[in-house]
Amino acid sequence: MKSAAKAQQADDSAETGAQQIRDAIREAIVERRLSPGTKLSESDVGNLFNVSRTLARAALQALSYEGLVSVEKNRGAFVAYPSPDEARQIFSARRLVEPGILREAAARITPGDIAHLRQLLLEEGRLMSERGQTARRAEIKASGDFHLTLAAISGNAIMQRFMEELVARSSLVIALYGQSTASSCGHSEHGDIISAIEVKELDRACQLMLHHIAHIEADLDLRERKSLGLKEAFEL
């Protein structure tokens, strides 16, 4: 039950099948099974999920709104290829909002939430020690889930959705510009942040968060890739 065309769980909140396709593609992008720049033709997507082009199109347009795919008029949809400038904006936005989310989350956090976060951390750590693509992908997802869970705890659905977008796009940026083979997030830093929240040291938690984001960003090599589609693209 790990194939692309599964995900048949009839989530009641899902308004339509397009949501499922959207989620499946987003997951594939976030987990870096789909590389930036990959063309996502409506027909191909439709065939892949055994639905009509209509639904495929709807899913792609939704993803376009999230900034995960870029649709060019009469040319098609592609997995987003964030420019270095966009990458900077994404992390700038994260620096701007994550401390605020952290503060709100800390104000409403319950012991259960903390337990949940630690659970996530444990899982993340376990995946880090494992080998293989599958574990690596799960780790990427778990790493983002930490930030997402924090947003969920904040109780603000709007900020939560915004963070979902930022985390997803961050994954794209890291896929494009990340240098170290290590995953997206320093694992220990997550734990430090939880600890700081737990003892109500808000300012320190925010500092740690900013450090954490800076740490991720420092691993990037934000230089213009000359689109490399001339001939190098075929030498892999």
Partner DNA sequence: AGCGCCGAAATTGTATACGATCTTTTGCAC
Partner DNA sequence: GTGCAAAAGATCGTATACAATTTCGGCGCT
- Comparing CB distances to DNA, the nearer of 15 and 235 is 15
> Is residue 92 part of the contact set for a second copy (CB under 8 A)?
yes
Which of helix, strand or coil describes residue 77?
strand
Question: Residue ranges of the alpha helices (H) in the chain?
Answer: 17-30, 42-49, 53-66, 84-108, 111-129, 133-153, 157-177, 187-198, 202-218
Interacting positions 61-100 with DNA (CB under 7 A): 71, 73-77
Q: How far is the CB of 158 from a second copy (least distance, A)?
A: 5
- Comparing CB distances to DNA, the nearer of 61 and 156 is 61
What distance in Å separates the CA atoms of residue 164 and residue 146, rounded to the nearest whole number? Answer: 11
> Is residue 23 part of the contact set for a second copy (CB under 8 A)?
no
> Is residue 209 part of the contact set for a second copy (CB under 8 A)?
no
What distance in Å separates the CA atoms of residue 4 and residue 171, rounded to the nearest whole number? Answer: 20
Q: Choose the one of DNA, a second copy, none that binds residue 134, judging by a C-beta under 5 to 8 angstroms depending on kind.
A: none
Out of 38, 52, 156, 195, point to the residue binding DNA (CB under 7 A).
Answer: 52
Phi, psi of 196 (to 5 degrees): -65, -40
**DSSP label at 233?**
G
- Comparing CB distances to a second copy, the nearer of 18 and 185 is 18
Q: Which stretch binds DNA (CB under 7 A): 47-55, 109-117, 163-171, 202-210?
A: 47-55
